[in-house]
Amino acid sequence: MFLIPFLSGGLALINPGLALILLMFFAAKALGPALVAPYRTLLSFFILPLVFAAISSEDATSMMMSMDAIFGAGLIVYIFLITLRRNQTLTEAFLASAIMLMVYAFVRMIVFKNVLDIHLEEGMKQVAHMMPSLENMEGYGLSMRIWQEFFPVFWGIMQIFALLLGFLLFHRMIKLPLSEVTFKFSVLYNVLILAILPWCLQQAYLTYFISALLLLCTIPLIQGSFAFWGWLSRVLSSNIIKGIIMIFVLIYAFIPLTIFGYANSWVSPINKKDSGETHESNIA
Question: Which tens digit of pLDDT belongs to each residue from 163-204?
Answer: 999 999 999 898 887 776 678 888 889 899 999 988 888 888
Is the torsion defined by CA of 30, 93, 53, 19 positive or negative? positive
- The pLDDT of residue 20 is 96
What are the angstrom distances between the C-alpha of 223 and each of 171, 198, 252?
16, 24, 17
**pLDDT tens for each residue of 202-255:** 888 888 899 999 999 999 999 999 989 888 988 888 889 989 999 999 999 889
Instruction: Find the mean pLDDT for residues 3-31.
Output: 93
Maximum alpha-carbon separation in the chain = 62
Instruction: Find the mean pLDDT for residues 255-283.
Output: 64
Beta-bridged to residue 103, according to DSSP, are none
- The pLDDT of residue 126 is 80
Phi, psi of 87, rounded to the nearest 5 degrees: -100, -15
Is the torsion defined by CA of 236, 237, 241, 245 positive or negative? positive
- The pLDDT of residue 178 is 75
